[in-house]
Amino acid sequence: MEKPGYEIAILGAGNVAWHLAPALETAGHTVSCIYSRSLEHAQALAGKLTSARATNNLDLTSEAADLYILAVKDAALTELLAEARFPENSLVAHTSGTQPLSVFKANPGIRGGVFYPLQTFSKQTLVDFKEIPFCLECADENGMLLLQKTARSLSNQVSEVSSEQRKILHLAAVFASNFTNHLLGISHKIMKEGQLNFDLLQPLVTQTIAKAFGQDPFSVQTGPAVRFDENTIQTQLKALENQVTYREIYELISRSIQQQASKS
């Protein structure tokens, strides 16, 4: 693997920064600076690193770095970009799945980019960066090259993805990850109320996911809806009669499964 050894400043000390900063060090880069609105948070992350200074000052004009990574919440990005000062012509990339490249338009003195790791991060859970797809975007050719080298030093899956495609990707990820998690939450609640161990379902769910990524998931659909098994559907709806929203979800997804089955 290449070890290009860039100087990188990270703005943000949340879940993404928490995993990304040490991984960048391991890959041979120098993380020179961690900014957070909360100095305490910046210090907590900098303390895990070799030589990063912690700061809550957004004037970074004297903080020379090859790349500034903005690993902050979507809601904080515009405000951060309005307040932060970077050295002239700096390469500044955000890690968001939803924000377009044009979010940098208000900062003509810098080269904007996107450095989006397509994964869900939480502080407690270890992640293997090798397996994380990085989606990159940059209008500047040298900027893109630097983003590519940096991403490839972390991961085996690096692609260029336009803002327009990233929007589609993010919508697909909401269905595949956020909504799936909510269904698992409903399932967990049903099991708990029935005094059953949720872990009983883990082999089934793991196999369901493995099958879904082997082919078009619609083609391997199973269950009462796709069998048009009205008996079971009615029994299960009755079991949900006191949980209005879950009942609506059951009805709507069953209808959608049946619409799909009637098409193919």
List binders of a second copy among 188-207 (CB under 8 A): 188-191, 193-196, 198-207
**CB 92: neighbour CB atoms within 10 A?**
24
CB of 66 to a second copy, least distance (A): 27
For residues 176-187, one letter each, b for 16 or more C-beta atoms within 10 angstroms of the residue's C-beta and e for the rest, the string is eeeeeeeeeeee
For a second copy, which is the closer residue by CB, 89 or 178?
A: 178
241 makes contact with a second copy (CB under 8 A): no
Supply the DSSP string of 181-237, one letter for each residue.
HHHHHHHHHHHHHTT--GGGGHHHHHHHHHHHTTS-GGGG--STTTTT-HHHHHHHH
CB of 105 to a second copy, least distance (A): 17
For a second copy, which is the closer residue by CB, 60 or 135?
A: 135
Residues 15-74 contacting a second copy, CB under 8 A: 73-74
179 makes contact with a second copy (CB under 8 A): yes
Per CB under 8 A, the list member of 85, 255, 262, 263 interacting with a second copy is 255
Question: Binders of a second copy: how many residues, by CB under 8 A?
Answer: 93
For a second copy, which is the closer residue by CB, 59 or 229?
A: 229
Structure token pair of residue 212 = 């879904």
Rounded to whole angstroms, the Cα distance separating 185 from 182 reads 5
The size of the chain, in residues, is 264
For a second copy, which is the closer residue by CB, 56 or 243?
A: 243
Region from 36-44, 58-66, 141-149, 209-217 binding a second copy, contact rule CB under 8 A: 209-217
156 makes contact with a second copy (CB under 8 A): no
Residues 92-111 contacting a second copy, CB under 8 A: 98
For a second copy, which is the closer residue by CB, 80 or 186?
A: 186
The SS3 assignment for 50 reads coil
For a second copy, which is the closer residue by CB, 56 or 221?
A: 221
**What is the CA angle 123-124-130, rounded to 5?**
75
**CB 7: neighbour CB atoms within 10 A?**
15
Per CB under 8 A, the list member of 216, 241, 262, 263 interacting with a second copy is 216
Per CB under 8 A, the list member of 62, 88, 175, 241 interacting with a second copy is 175
Which residues have CB under 8 Å from 258's CB, separation 6+?
A: 225, 226, 228
Which residues have CB under 8 Å from 187's CB, separation 6+?
A: 198, 201
